[in-house]
Amino acid sequence: MGMTMGQIIRKLRKERNLTQEELAEQLNITPQAISRWESETGMPDISQVVPLANVFGVSVDVLFGTDGVNGDEEVDAFITEVQSKLSSNLPKVNDPSFREEICADIQKMLSTYPNNHRLLAFSIDNMVMLLWAYHQDRFTKEHPDKKAEMNRLENECIRQVNVLFNHCSNMEYLDLAHRRLVSVYRIMGNYEKAEEHAKQLVDPNRFHLAVVYDEMGRTEDALAEHCRNLYAKLLQLEPILPAIGSLYRKQKKYEEAYACYRLRVELFEMILDGIDAEAAFHCNLAVNSSYAWCALTCMDLARPDEAMDWLEKWIHFERKRKENHTVVTKSNLPYFYGIDNRKAILHNYKLTPSLAWDGFDPIRDTERFKAIVSDAESLEKGE
Round the average pLDDT of the chain to a whole number and report it. Answer: 79
Q: Which residue would you say has higher pLDDT here, 145 or 207? A: 207
pLDDT tens figures, 8-60: 888 888 878 889 999 998 888 998 999 999 988 888 887 888 888 888 877 77
pLDDT of residue 353: 82
Residue-level pLDDT at 341: 36
Least confident of 120-134, 280-294, 364-378: 280-294
pLDDT score recorded for residue 345: 38
Q: What integer pLDDT is reported at residue 123 of this predicted model?
A: 93
Local confidence band at 314 (pLDDT 50, 70, 90 cut-offs): confident
pLDDT > 70 fraction of the chain, expressed in percent and rounded: 79
Do 72-216 and 5-63 fall under one CATH topology?
no
Q: Where are the domains of the chain?
A: 5-63, 72-216, 229-380
Which value, to the nearest 10 degrees, does the dihedral of the CA atoms of residues 92, 93, 95, 100 take? 120
**Architecture of the domain spanning 5-63:** Orthogonal Bundle (1.10)
- Give the domain 72-216 fold: 1.25.40
Least confident of 147-151, 302-306, 363-367: 147-151
Dump pLDDT digits (tens) for 268-308.
766 655 445 444 544 555 566 788 899 999 999 999 999 99
56 neighbors 16 (Cβ within 8 angstroms): yes
pLDDT band at 316 (very low <50, low <70, confident <90, very high): confident
Query: What is the per-residue pLDDT for 17?
Result: 83
Single pTM value for the model: 0.51
38 CA to centre of own chain: 39
> What would the mean pLDDT of 166-195 be, rounded to a whole number?
85
What is the C-alpha to C-alpha distance for residues 159 and 194, in angstroms, rounded to an integer? 16
Is 335's pLDDT higher than 60?
no
CATH code of 229-380, in short, is: 1.25.40
Three-state SS across the chain?
A: CCCCHHHHHHHHHHHCCCCHHHHHHHHCCCHHHHHHHHCCCCCCCHHHHHHHHHHHCCCHHHHCCCCCCCCHHHHHHHHHHHHHHHHCCHHHCCCHHHHHHHHHHHHHHHHHCCCCHHHHHHHHHHHHHHHHHHHCHHHHHHCCCHHHHHHHHHHHHHHHHHHHHHHCCCHHHHHHHHHHHHHHHHHCCCHHHHHHHHCCCCCCCCHHHHHHHHHCCCHHHHHHHHHHHHHHHHHHHCCHHHHHHHHHHHCCCHHHHHHHHHHHHHHHHHHHHHCCHHHHHHHHHHHHHHHHHHHHHHHHCCCHHHHHHHHHHHHHHHHHHHHHCCCCCCCCCHHHCCCCCHHHHHHHCCCHHHHCCHHHHHHCCCHHHHHHHHHHHHHHCCC
222-266 tens-digit pLDDT = 888 887 777 777 767 767 888 899 999 999 999 999 999 998 888
pLDDT at position 69 over 60: no
Rounded-to-integer distance, Cα 184 and Cα 146, Å: 15
